[in-house]
């Protein structure tokens, strides 16, 4: 389907009444509409839609349930309307409490991944309510859609070379510059761990580097894990563990979506986006358990498990990013199953030593309904990454606190950045929600964009 925002409602536009659970009587409805709602058991249940018939024929209006005030994602619940409303012209009968989020939810709910299927011909035209920044909502939605599209695309159409092409396409849209270090040139350029992880694939590993904005503006650098498919390497995953591994480049997809938001908003930053793009494949030249790799930073890493490859490629990219001493360095990665065990698929953890940044992120996440949860960089667990023959191991032996120790691993490669935050995202919706279908998902990037807009906006 297509959701079109229009600035003014047409004469044919029909109203959508927003109803809180148990508060039907507070909405200015006709007596016939109230009776119809009661007859159909409608009481404002979140996400439920009820069409109210007209006096002659057709639909007179629609009732839409917002649920309880404390229901999660309630401001984005309007996304369900995009999939339920009949084709035509619509408007909110009353101003939503959070008009920007209501419109954003509507746009996000209209997303479809139709690359391999027939596209729906249904179009919904929805009048933007008063006091709504529709242009910003559209920018955010487009960034989310880019992340979702990249994650949803299977690896046969989204390998390292295609991920590079997608970055170049985005760069050309906004006048950004892209440089790529490719294949064996990674060794010459001192990115040994990116090369080691990706060298077994038929598609050469590469480091993608995009720059945009005034050179004298505050430096904001985004690093995204771009493992386009993860077999686990020689520590091979079971078949069930590979089913969703097209999403292991979700960190890269998310930072590209965030970059699109930043550039579209023309924020006052010097943006840099680094994506180490690889496939963790199996071949005779694959890196092995027990190998010792030298990193760009000079730290030697013993390989305790080849399925902990994301932190290796991120480490080389973070070391490069850190050399420029950015004001803010952010990395995003589908890094650990331990994060899902701790917080589930909908609530991504983030890690930072900067309490001020953490507070800003938490507030931004609440304000834009893009949930995040700070987790501790618990120093005593650093010792769990020790190695007998190298400076550090890429995994721990006891299996505890996997997301925390992964963050501690990455922290060793960041010293000069004024602030750093690591996001251990899932990048996937396992269940249908009003604003999000099952499939690839953007997580945390709307919160980060909100923070950046408040810091560096016009």
- The residue with tokens 């058991």 is 41
| Catalytic position from the list 21, 122, 237, 455 | 237
247 is known as an active-site residue = no
For residues 387 and 394, give the distance between their C-alpha atoms in angstroms, rounded to a whole number: 9
Cα(58)–Cα(53) distance, integer angstroms: 6
Cα 303 from Cα 392, distance rounded (Å)? 9
Tally Cβ neighbours within 10 Å of residue 42: 20
Are the CB atoms for 228 and 159 separated by under 8 Å? yes
Rg for the chain (alpha carbons), in Å? 24
Is 311 among the catalytic positions?
Answer: yes
Beta strands 373-374 and 292-294 are unpaired
Parallel/antiparallel/unpaired status of strands 59-67 and 14-20: parallel
b/e per residue 65-85 (b: at least 16 CB within 10 A): bbbeeebebbbbbbbbbbbbb
DSSP assignment string, 211-224:
EES-TTSPEEEEEE
Give the residue from 235, 198, 425, 202 showing the smallest Cα distance to 317: 198
Tokens of 445: 């990037």
List CB contacts of 454: < 8 A, sequence separation 6 or more.
360, 364
**CA dist., res. 131 & res. 209, Å (int):** 38
- The residue to which tokens 């890196």 are assigned: 287
Which candidate, 339, 354, 359, 326, places its Cα nearest to that of 427?
A: 339
35: tokens are: 């009776």
176 - beta bridge partners? none
Per-residue tokens: 301? 């890493």
Furthest C-alpha separation in the chain:
82
Crossing angle of helices 160-174/250-265, nearest 10°? 10
Alpha-carbon span 66 to 93, nearest angstrom: 14
DSSP state of 132: -
Q: Which of 20, 125, 311, 412 is catalytic?
A: 311
Instruction: Name beta bridge partners: 301.
Output: 293, 392
Residues designated catalytic = 237, 311
């Amino acid at each position: 389907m297509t959701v079109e925002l229009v600035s003014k409602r047409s004469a044919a536009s029909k109203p959508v009444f927003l109803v809180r659970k148990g508060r039907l009587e507070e909405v200015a409805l006709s007596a016939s509409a109230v009776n119809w709602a009661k007859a159909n058991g409608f009481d404002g249940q979140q996400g439920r839609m009820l069409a109210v018939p007209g006096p002659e024929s057709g639909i007179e209006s629609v009732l839409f349930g917002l649920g309880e005030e404390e229901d999660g994602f309630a401001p984005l619940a309007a996304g369900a309307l995009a999939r339920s409303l009949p084709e035509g012209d619509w408007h909110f009968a009353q101003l939503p409490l959070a008009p920007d989020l209501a419109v954003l939810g509507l746009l996000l709910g209209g997303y479809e991944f139709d690359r391999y299927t027939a596209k729906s011909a249904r179009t919904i035209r929805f009048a933007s309510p008063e006091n709504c920044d529709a242009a910003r909502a559209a920018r955010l939605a487009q960034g989310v859609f880019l992340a979702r599209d990249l994650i949803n695309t299977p690896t046969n159409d989204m390998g390292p070379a295609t991920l590079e092409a997608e970055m170049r396409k985005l760069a050309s849209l906004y006048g950004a510059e892209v440089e790529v270090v490719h294949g064996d040139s990674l060794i010459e350029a001192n990115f040994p761990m990116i090369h080691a992880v990706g060298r077994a694939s038929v598609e050469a590993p590469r480091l993608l580097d995009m720059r945009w904005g005034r050179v004298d503006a505050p430096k904001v650098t985004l690093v995204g894990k771009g493992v386009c498919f993860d077999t686990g390497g020689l520590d091979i995953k079971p078949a069930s563990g590979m089913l969703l591994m097209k999403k292991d480049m979700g960190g890269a997809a998310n930072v590209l979506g965030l970059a699109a938001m930043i550039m579209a908003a023309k924020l006052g930053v010097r943006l840099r986006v680094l994506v180490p793009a690889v496939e963790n494949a199996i071949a005779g030249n694959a890196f092995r358990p027990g190998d010792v790799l030298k990193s760009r930073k000079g730290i030697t890493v013993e390989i305790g498990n080849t399925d902990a490859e994301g932190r290796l490629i991120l480490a080389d990219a973070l070391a490069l990013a850190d050399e420029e001493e950015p004001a803010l360095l952010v990395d995003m990665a589908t890094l650990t199953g331990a994060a899902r065990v701790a917080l589930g698929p909908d609530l991504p953890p983030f890690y930072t030593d900067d309490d001020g940044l953490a507070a800003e992120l938490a507030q931004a996440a609440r304000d834009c309904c893009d949930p995040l949860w700070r987790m501790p960089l618990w120093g005593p667990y650093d010792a769990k990454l020790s190695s007998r023959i190298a400076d550090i191991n890429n995994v721990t032996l006891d299996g505890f606190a996997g997301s925390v120790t992964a963050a501690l691993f990455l922290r060793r490669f960041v010293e000069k950045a004024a602030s750093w935050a690591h996001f251990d995202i899932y990048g996937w919706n396992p269940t249908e929600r009003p604003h999000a279908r099952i499939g690839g998902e953007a997580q945390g990037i709307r919160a980060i964009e909100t923070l950046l807009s408040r810091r560096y906006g016009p």
